[in-house]
Amino acid sequence: MAVENRGMKTGGKRRKLRLSKIYSFRCGRASFKDDHSQIGGPGFSRLVYCNEPDSFEAGIHNYAGNYVRSTKYTAASFFPKALFEQFRRVANFYFLVTGILAFTPLAPYIAVSAIIPLIIVVGATMMKEGIEDWRRKQQDNEVNNRKVKVHCGDGVFKHTEWRNLRVGDIVKVEKDEFFPADLLLLSSSYEDAISYVETMNLDGETNLKLKQALEVTSFLQEDSNFQDFKALVKCEDPNANLYSFVGSMDFEEQQYPLNPQQLLLRDSKLRNTDYVYGAVIFTGHDTKVIQNSTDPPSKRSKIERKMDKIIYFLFCVLFTIGFVGSVYFGVTTHDDLENGTMKRWYLRPDDSTIFFDPKRAPAAAIYHFLTAVMLYSYLIPISLYVSIEIVKVLQSMFINQDINMYYEDADKPAHARTSNLNEELGQVDTILSDKTGTLTCNSMEFVKCSVAGTAYGHGVTEVEKAMARRKGFLLANEMVNGKDYAKVSSGKKSPVKGFNFEERRIMNGNWVNEERADVIQKFLQLLAICHTAIPEEDENMGKISYEAESPDEAAFVIAARELGFEFYKRTQTSVSLRELDPFSGQKVERLYKLLNVLEFNSSRKRMAVIVKDEEGKLFLFCKGADSVMFERLAKNGREFEEQTRNHVNEYAEAGLRTLILAYRELGEEEYIDFNKKHAEAKNSVSADREELLDLAAEMIEKDLILLGATAVEDKLQNGVPECINKLSQAGIKIWVLTGDKMETAINIGFACSLLRQGMKQIIINLDMPEIKTLEKMGEKDAIAKASRESVLHQISEGKAQLSASSENSEAFALIIDGKSLAYALEDGMKKIFLELAIGCASVICCRSSPKQKALVTKLVKIGTGKTTLAIGDGANDVGMLQEADIGVGISGVEGMQAVMSSDIAIAQFRFLERLLLVHGHWCYRRISTMICYFFYKNLAFGITVFLYEAHASFSGKPVYNDWFLSLYNMFFTSLPVVALGVFDQDAPAQFCLKFPLLYQEGVQNVLFSWRRILGWMFNGVCSAVIIFFFCTQALDLQAFNSDGKAAGLEIVGTTMYTCVVWVVNCQMALAVRYLTLIQHLVIWGGITFWYLFALVYGSMPPSISTTAYKVFIECLAPAPLFWFVTFFVVVSALIPYFSYSAIQMRFFPSYHEILQWIRLEDQANDPEYRASHTLGYPASLALVERSNGIRDGFS
């Protein structure tokens, strides 16, 4: 039946199809020769029985199902795994140990009061983890329950869920549906079995990819054809390489090679094709997209890592005072009973348990140490981690909701993909940026061209305008290089996207009157034919648009259309044009048979097509970078070489991207010989298949005839120069890592304010006569040695220039090309290269590969030890983004791969200014102050516990009620610190942007230095000492109320606790720079809640309230002394901080305090005042350096 159907389908018109000629589609039968030996060997052992998923042979392989799980936990593993994650934190583990010890007689409090806070903290974090995982689970369910048609037998297809698919199933995917697994394309709705696929979910690319099935299965165009279809696929094992697939198909006793062109990857989408049939090859976690979904590198901010050190420091303090107290307790206990005399008679050492037994004093000291470890646990902030996580999530929400970082044109807001690095945004020292698509729009416009040695196009680029301004020309009524800039730049912008070309000589068909009209015709034909774009016609408007692999390619096809050569149709074997006939002056339709496409890649740096015109002539059309094209010209094809080179250099200086266009006519025999070798390379199933294809292409891409060059402009994004200027004023160093030529990169640098007038340039390259001579000789070792020595010499000279001008404060820019960079990054040289680079204000690395971008980022991050931020928009930037401390992805034209690998996504480079100078500064200040305050309030509380225990001979008795101890961190002081972390501002957004030097507080880590941390801790100790001694001295040895009763432990403890709650909350009110209604509510609400709790808890039965029973309502509230002591102690405890802050603010203000004076005195708009305070970076930095002495412990 299958043979009959096949015979019917392949009759007539089908026999005329000439497949196998495009890309890497070889549909004819070919011999595998030696390459076939890999199939069945290691790494190539997969066997797929197509249309037989239930067969015995298929079952024995036990391949993975198609159910996909991205969750971190399962229902069974959630509790054990989540608990393990929580108790990996040393603080949580410590509280777990003290919680267990609380069930022993050693505990100074009841066990439940120690366990409940731990349960709340751990439970809150686990709940957050659970909610996030539940969302992932819902996303998994949505994907796994999608429907697809699967063959159920007898040629019948029925819908089933994705999760039910098995290896070998035949599925039918319809237009605009996602592929449910990795499928082998068998046929499609097109006769030649092609299909168009969108792979944005895989590689972020928005262009459509062309796929084609084997010719032998292309007849399977109806459901009924699959009734008796059987085939065996032997292929590679599951792997993560999206762009490779090696295999073979056994069908009807013949074997056919398979390549990536027949593989449809899971999560890509079928476009512009009604349906396709495919056989399931890889399922579930074996699919290539899932194999690629590795976890991003774990990143933690420097503040978090430092916070861990502080926790360890506090542990050392805790164990130290516990040890000292235990030794003292042991010695005192040993001396308690001397000659029958009891010194501490109230402890009954003559009739005591082991805790106070003088005969077992060493054991008593050990037990006391364990008690002290539990009692002093309040020095460690139990809610610190969970509070910071809550604050960071809320900060991320503010970043996401910032209307000033919303890009309306693309409907894209900022998106913080992780909240772990918020405060790191305020500490960036170096930005490493891609250029194309990051600083520029990656929306190319055809601006100029050079054809037959003649330059065409009068458009003025932004770089040329910047050059004119830099040279002192006026743009208005000023001629620059013979062109009226004002007139040209003020002209109306072309209404055609991608085309901004102005030239009367060749537009509107006028090119036919040019001297070399024949060359221009061939030039335009090449633009219209040499590409992989796909035309789409709007049926309503009758206009044609193009789906292209890159913005450059789209610009070329649009330019050809606008100049009279319209590409309007593509089939698998042909390209159709409507082109202007120079003889008749009319548009004629011409069809070119498309024989081969030699694709572009980063190593070839060119692409070519081989076509046959209607007269039967064979042509090779080729376009590529000047570095590879000029060397491939024939001797008789260099007629316009000198003029073209000059034009290309001019275009590069104008910031334009250039390509060289050339062609040659092929002989029939030459083509047959090439096609044979090319076909063998395409049919290869070996690992070096790509290399074989490149070698085959080298045979034919030679002896070319030069036609000319194109120049397209990638315009700067709006606001880029202003943003870079502002970031530079903030003291942030900016490096640009680009693949452009040096001339282009330098001029773009000037256009975007990265390079400035008067900045000295240190240029490192290998364009030297001696190096070029060695390259011609081809001695690789000699070239490498000479190049290495040259780069080292140039770096040393650059360092000498820096040293010589150190007194003059001159600004330097370092520009280095890719070849030199490869040597500069070697182990013996990278250190001095980094020393030179960090001494320069700007650095531009030209002709950089993706690997070099990542290596440079790593060098800066490790070498400087400071925070680095990488920003890019393309797949070639992923390594750089993941290597940097912070990766920022631009959601631009090149898809979403950079965004998916980033920590934060923004739509435009200019938003980086607000992200860093506003949100970064705020987050850094908030988190730093929040952590310092946490340690302050815990020390203020914990030290009072220690002082009372010392006062009571280290007896292990807490001064506070058990529940007072437990709820201090959880309720009475927790919300104000969260509010500080979310809402506090030392300057409003407009001031942060107006005075960018404020950002240096984060770069220099002014607000989280050890001096400031220890200052806050010292403040906590001072507050604790004042509270303890003032309370005990005021309440001891005198009547507490009118009845003449003395204050006992319960009264003293509750009074001290009240003072602590008041002091730490009032301290928060003093520390906050921007009081909001919410902060007022949580600060004064915390104090109010304490009084309500004391009232309600004290009213409970003594079995519950224990030492707090009726203490507040009967003893404290009626006693005037209680209210007086509270007021007096709170004021006394706050005086040191208040005095210190007032003196510093008045006489030694830091930069943010100067801004507060400006706000207070309303002088921000006074030009004279602003001029004296908004200094340039060097002078402003001096102001901050002057303020280093006041990097206080509190501000």
Catalytic (active-site) positions: 434
E strands, 434-522, are 440-451, 454-456, 479-480, 483-484
Q: Are 676 and 692 in contact (CB under 8 A)?
A: no
Half-sphere exposure of 453 (CA within 13 A, CB side): 10
Instruction: Give the tokens for residue 771.
Output: 């190096």
- Is 963 strand, coil or helix? helix
For residues 556 and 768, what is the distance between their CA atoms, to the nearest angstrom? 34
Q: Are 192 and 571 in contact (CB under 8 A)?
A: yes
- Is 886 strand, coil or helix? strand
For residues 144 and 616, what is the distance between their CA atoms, to the nearest angstrom? 53
351-358, long-range: CB < 8 A, 24+ apart: 355/956, 357/333, 358/333, 358/334
Half-sphere exposure of 85 (CA within 13 A, CB side): 16
**Among residues 744, 712, 661, which one has the least CA distance to residue 447?**
712
**Among residues 658, 823, 653, which one has the least CA distance to residue 745?**
653
**To 5 degrees, how large is the angle CA 1163–CA 1166–CA 1172?**
90
For residues 793 and 818, what is the distance between their CA atoms, to the nearest angstrom? 17
Q: Which residue has the tokens 């200052």?
A: 1015
Q: Are 674 and 719 in contact (CB under 8 A)?
A: no
Instruction: Give the tokens for residue 746.
Output: 């330098």
Written in H, E and C, the secondary structure of 154-170 is CCEEEEEEHHHCCCCCE
For residues 532 and 23, what is the distance between their CA atoms, to the nearest angstrom? 10
For residues 1042 and 1119, what is the distance between their CA atoms, to the nearest angstrom? 8
Number of other CB atoms surrounding residue 32 within 10 Å: 17
For residues 225 and 231, what is the distance between their CA atoms, to the nearest angstrom? 13
* DSSP-derived secondary structure for 642-668: HHHHHHHHHHHHTT-EEEEEEEEEE-H
Spatial neighbors of 886 by CB under 8 A, at least 6 apart, are: 299, 421, 424, 425, 428, 867, 868, 869, 870, 903, 904
Q: Are 746 and 799 in contact (CB under 8 A)?
A: no
Q: What are the helix (H) ranges across 106-242?
A: 111-144, 200-203
Q: Are 422 and 392 in contact (CB under 8 A)?
A: yes
Instruction: Give the tokens for residue 526.
Output: 């090449």
For residues 904 and 888, what is the distance between their CA atoms, to the nearest angstrom? 5
- Is 793 strand, coil or helix? helix
Number of other CB atoms surrounding residue 304 within 10 Å: 18
For residues 607 and 623, what is the distance between their CA atoms, to the nearest angstrom? 6
**To 5 degrees, how large is the angle CA 432–CA 435–CA 437?**
120
Q: Are 168 and 49 in contact (CB under 8 A)?
A: yes
Q: Which residues pair with 534 in a beta bridge?
A: 547
Instruction: Give the tokens for residue 37.
Output: 């030996």
Q: Are 1059 and 1087 in contact (CB under 8 A)?
A: no
Q: Are 623 and 522 in contact (CB under 8 A)?
A: no
DSSP element (H, E) containing 102: none
Q: What is the 8-class DSSP label of residue 614?
A: T
